[in-house]
């Protein structure tokens, strides 16, 4: 299965990139109903698709995050706090707001799911790192906006005298209705399952129970991290009034380097060498990711395109299995300008190897020598001796 860090959100929902907001919402509803865990008990693949659909809809269902994703891809979501849907309960909680009602899933599956202890929502951000930080590891401090428990009402949304028992469900959070011979229990539409209603909202949070604040979070990037790795920072998600805070999940993406290409723990670099070095052997200085030059030994007879290995100069393995190598792909660089002496020596080499050198490549001195001692000069001398 394609990892979520690599999947395209539009493809996950079966949409074209020009889909309207209504089409995105309908596509998510269809996929959520199809892969809901209550409809597919014990099916891990269905549960994963249910989660992927939620992640895709959170990005595409918001105009701002969709615009950033369309222009920059996942890199455009860097620093944007998104929910990490680690459980079905997380999804059910978040999408009661996205889908415009708390009972969207309960209408189809009932409100029979047992929920664990109250926990704050998880968040998810994307973070870009450069290749040098992969080599050494790093600590990155990011600033994100997240919901914090309102200090005035302590997350209740209202003062004590502003909360009353829901008159429709009488505090149960659920209501029953008859359909043919069956009784169907659904979430109370009046209180949204809370069992109480707010009659006088909190003046600070407006009844939400939380306020949005900026927070700084430090994320430790381990050396050797692979692009697409998801890191978990415990307790840095959104808080819960009655339980533990959620977690922050960070999708790490490694930026391209102008000199080195990555292949697992190995680094690949291209190095130009001269023809004499390739033929006779020698050493050439090559760059390393550490910033210091290193001597590369080029064996005699090296062919253009060969890969030479410098062991232990690659990236560390994220799981502690040593370091990779620095792979140098050499290519023979042809000089664009030559001194007269260089051109003369190359012409001699060409004659040794029976290579036909174009006339335009011969130097002026070579042309004079060919005229005096070559076929032209010899013919003139023969004509002079015959005239005597």
Of residues 27, 267, 327, the one with CA closest to residue 131: 267
Domains and CATH numbers, the chain: 1-116 (1.10.287.110), 261-332 (2.60.260.20), 340-387 (no CATH)
Of residues 78, 79, 84, the one with CA closest to residue 235: 84
Three-state secondary structure string covering 144-212: EEEEEECCCCCCCCCCHHHEEECCCCCCCCEEEEEECCEEEEEECCCCCCCCEEECCCCCCCCCCCEEE
pLDDT band for position 105 (cuts 50, 70, 90): very low
Can you tell me the distance from the alpha carbon of 317 to that of 118, in angstroms, rounded to the nearest whole number?
38
> pLDDT at position 3, please?
44
DSSP states along 239-260: --TTSB---EEEEEEEPP-SS-
Q: Which residue has the higher pLDDT, 257 or 347?
A: 257
The string of pLDDT tens digits covering residues 244-255 is 788 898 999 999
Can you tell me the distance from the alpha carbon of 286 to that of 80, in angstroms, rounded to the nearest whole number?
39
The string of pLDDT tens digits covering residues 171-190 is 888 887 766 556 677 788 88
> pLDDT at position 114, please?
47
Rama region for 110: left / alpha / beta (φ>0; ψ in -120 to 50; rest): left
Q: 212 has which bridge partners?
A: 147
Longest C-alpha distance within the chain, in Å? 138
Per-residue b/e over 148-175, b at no fewer than 16 CB within 10 Å? bbbeebebbbbeeebbeebeebeeebbb
H helices, E strands: number in the chain: 11, 15
Percent of the chain with pLDDT over 90: 26
> pLDDT at position 261, please?
94
Average pLDDT over the chain reads 80
Query: For the purposes of burial, counting CB atoms within 10 Å of the CB of 339, is it exposed (0-12), middle (13-18) or buried (19 or more)?
Result: exposed
pLDDT band for position 112 (cuts 50, 70, 90): very low
Percent of the chain with pLDDT over 70: 77
Tokens of 328: 């140098």
Report CA Rg, the chain.
35
| In the predicted structure, residue 224 carries a pLDDT above the cut 50 | yes
Pairing state of beta strands 248-254 and 230-233? antiparallel
Q: Are 314 and 302 in contact (CB under 8 A)?
A: no
Per-residue b/e over 252-273, b at no fewer than 16 CB within 10 Å? bbbeeeeebebeebbbbbebeb
Distances (CA, A) of 300 to 116, 254, 297, 329: 69, 37, 10, 15
pLDDT band for position 383 (cuts 50, 70, 90): very low
> pLDDT at position 210, please?
82
| In the predicted structure, residue 297 carries a pLDDT above the cut 80 | yes
Can you tell me the distance from the alpha carbon of 388 to that of 107, in angstroms, rounded to the nearest whole number?
123
Distances (CA, A) of 224 to 17, 137, 159, 263, 278: 34, 7, 51, 12, 33
| In the predicted structure, residue 200 carries a pLDDT above the cut 70 | yes
> pLDDT at position 218, please?
93
Kindly give the residue spans of alpha helices, DSSP state H, lying in 216-307: 275-280
> pLDDT at position 107, please?
46
The string of pLDDT tens digits covering residues 6-35 is 678 999 899 999 999 889 988 888 888 888
Q: Which residues are CB-contacts of 357 (< 8 A; sequence separation ≥ 6)? A: 347, 350, 351
Range 235-244 average pLDDT: 78
**pTM of the predicted structure, to 2 decimals:** 0.57
pLDDT band for position 356 (cuts 50, 70, 90): low
> pLDDT at position 260, please?
95
């Amino acid at each position: 299965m394609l990892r979520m860090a690599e999947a395209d959100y539009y493809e996950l929902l079966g949409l074209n990139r020009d889909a309207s907001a209504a089409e995105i919402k309908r596509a998510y509803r269809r996929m959520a109903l199809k892969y809901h865990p209550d409809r597919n008990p014990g099916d891990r693949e269905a549960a994963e698709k249910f989660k992927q659909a939620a992640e895709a809809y959170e990005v595409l269902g918001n105009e701002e995050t969709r615009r950033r994703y369309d222009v920059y891809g996942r890199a455009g979501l860097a620093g944007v706090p998104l929910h990490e849907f680690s459980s079905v309960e997380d999804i059910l909680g978040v999408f009661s707001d996205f889908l415009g009602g708390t009972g969207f899933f309960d209408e189809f599956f009932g409100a029979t799911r047992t929920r664990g202890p109250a926990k704050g929502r998880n968040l998810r951000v994307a973070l870009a790192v450069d290749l040098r930080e992969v080599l050494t590891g790093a600590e990155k401090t990011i600033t994100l906006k997240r919901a914090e428990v309102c200090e005035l009402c302590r997350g209740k949304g209202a003062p004590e005298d502003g909360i009353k028992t829901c008159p429709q469900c009488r505090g149960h959070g659920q209501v029953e209705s008859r359909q043919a011979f069956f009784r169907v229990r659904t979430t109370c539409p009046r209180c949204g399952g809370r069992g109480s209603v707010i009659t006088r909202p909190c003046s600070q949070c407006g009844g939400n129970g939380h306020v949005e604040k900026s927070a700084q979070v430090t994320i430790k990037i381990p050396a050797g991290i692979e692009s697409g790795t998801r890191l978990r920072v415990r307790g840095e998600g959104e808080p819960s009034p009655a339980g533990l805070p959620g977690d922050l999940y960070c999708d790490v993406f490694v930026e391209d380097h102008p000199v080195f290409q990555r292949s697992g723990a190995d680094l690949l670099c291209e190095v130009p060498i001269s023809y004499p070095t390739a033929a006779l052997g020698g050493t050439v200085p090559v760059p390393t990711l550490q910033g210091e030059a290193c001597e590369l030994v080029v064996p005699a007879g090296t062919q253009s395109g060969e890969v030479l290995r410098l062991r232990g100069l690659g990236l560390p393995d994220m799981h502690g299995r040593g370091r990779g190598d620095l792979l140098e792909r050499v290519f023979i660089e042809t000089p664009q300008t030559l001194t007269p002496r260089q051109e003369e020596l190359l012409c001699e080499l060409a004659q040794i190897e029976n290579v036909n050198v174009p006339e335009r490549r011969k130097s002026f001195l070579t042309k004079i020598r060919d005229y005096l001692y070559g076929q032209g000069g010899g013919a003139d001398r023969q004509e002079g001796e015959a005239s005597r």
